[in-house]
Chain A
């Protein structure tokens, strides 16, 4: 059910909002056990909210999202609800405040029915790295839904909510949207406040909608976009009329086709399908412009250096001291004592250089505080998060900073310039969203580099800070959906929405 369908039903009086909520509750109760998208539901709260919103509908004072039932990715803070980022380290943590986007959704009468699964701290491309277990693709439950907003995408694909919010740091909205056959919009960096979005990589993270169609994405963006004094990186720029752009799409747009995005590694069927779409758009009045984005090939490497660097710092606060998981203190103290004792005995027994080395080791032993940090974090973080914290720590370390972080920042600027130049010539740039359709659960878990390559078409938009959308492009012979991506210059969301709408209209 799309937003306009839901709204039409409740505003016409055909159904009460309560019935819509109940319908979703039923759907969640029947399907979620298998899909594993929702990790927390608040049915009672949703029903109570439905009553209030219904009253406003009856009074004629309801907001723009009255009738809409949404799931929220488990890293966007909702007051007094668990916010765990699918991580053990935030076990039992409830946010004490609402994220700005949550405030804005509530103010427009959206009903927030629950929290949805994700890759731990948004790090992953399959939604398999979650303390709640993997999410399954509703199109084929042997397949991954994509990630990190896999729960957000699966929820919409399984119609367990009207729409969801996800976050996109390197493709985490667009790639799962592609795998699940729905629409995912990554707004421009700074268009939507990040206040209350648990940070993975602060200079990349964007909140955006996942929805059944382009218009729904526009309707949600319209509510969540705009300056926020609590986020100094949010833009003062006025919002555009996103819904109008979708409802009145221009056909004579200039579409840049970058050679670099249609090369090796791309599934042939996906390639052909996108080419077909482009021919049809051209026939409808669009102009196809071959372009070059020469630094694209450095995108993945640059992204994984910069994003992990920021993550290593952003995740330092999870130390088990003030909230979240803390290792058992008594066990830790006992363990330290035993280690110290064993080492002391070794020192006593040793001679010469070995003794000196052991003495040094003894002197360098962890303080109880340091050990508590280490144990809490070792227990609390999953393997992928640890991998990225280590990568990020490494690239910022003395002696390596210039070679990695410093260089990656320079490449980021080159990639930004590629796009800047391209957008002088075209309205949007087209590409596949991901090189393949969804793959089997567990298939790439042992090969992080293969996993990272899934982001090949999506990361550069985050590096450049521009906006992008993934729209369903077709169904593969393997029965799975895949998406087409449009990117536009910063704050040109209307252009990607417009292009996305044109693709929808081809069907």
Chain B
């Protein structure tokens, strides 16, 4: 199981990669994809919306189960990874094969940078799922 140290994590098994200008990429962790199994599709219909921390922004559907996706931080959803979108690349198994890279789910703009302090570091997250 892989927990890149440069990322931040949530108890809901999402990861956050923070870039310049309060931009962040969000995905689900290696642990989450392994628990879910092969993904069938990802639904994100909230692009352009401002959503609060902890609220649902989408859903992942796996062969055996389904799970909501929660905002790790408040902000505006700028994009849904086109490679996961059924209208574009449509390969949700990228989340299984490369959860922290090609399998990113959304790009967002953080509205309240102070919330970043609520996220977990790699070590704390690894302990959580151990």
A binds B: no
Give me the interface of A with B, judged by CB distance under 8 Å. Answer: none
Residues of chain B touching chain A, judged by Cβ–Cβ distance below 8 Å, are none
